[in-house]
């Protein structure tokens, strides 16, 4: 497996919540706060 794929797999649990479509207004607010 390439080094890049290994890094992605290692960090995916932290990145994926930021890439998902928010389901509620509260989820949306959390994503907006992450941008600040």
pLDDT digits (tens, 9 = 90+) for 1-36: 799 999 999 999 999 888 889 999 999 998 888 887
> What residues make up the domain containing 28?
3-35
What is the tally of structural domains in the chain? 1
User: For residue 13, what pLDDT is reported?
Assistant: 93
User: 31 and 18 in contact (C-beta within 8 Å)?
Assistant: yes
User: For residue 22, what pLDDT is reported?
Assistant: 92
User: For residue 35, what pLDDT is reported?
Assistant: 83
Residue 17 DSSP class:
H
What is the rounded distance in angstroms from the CA atom of residue 21 to the CA atom of residue 10?
22
User: For residue 19, what pLDDT is reported?
Assistant: 86
The answer to pTM > 0.75 is no
């Amino acid at each position: 497996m390439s080094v890049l794929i290994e890094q992605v797999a290692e960090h995916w649990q932290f990145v994926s919540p930021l890439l998902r479509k928010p389901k509620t207004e509260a989820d949306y607010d959390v994503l907006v706060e992450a941008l600040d």
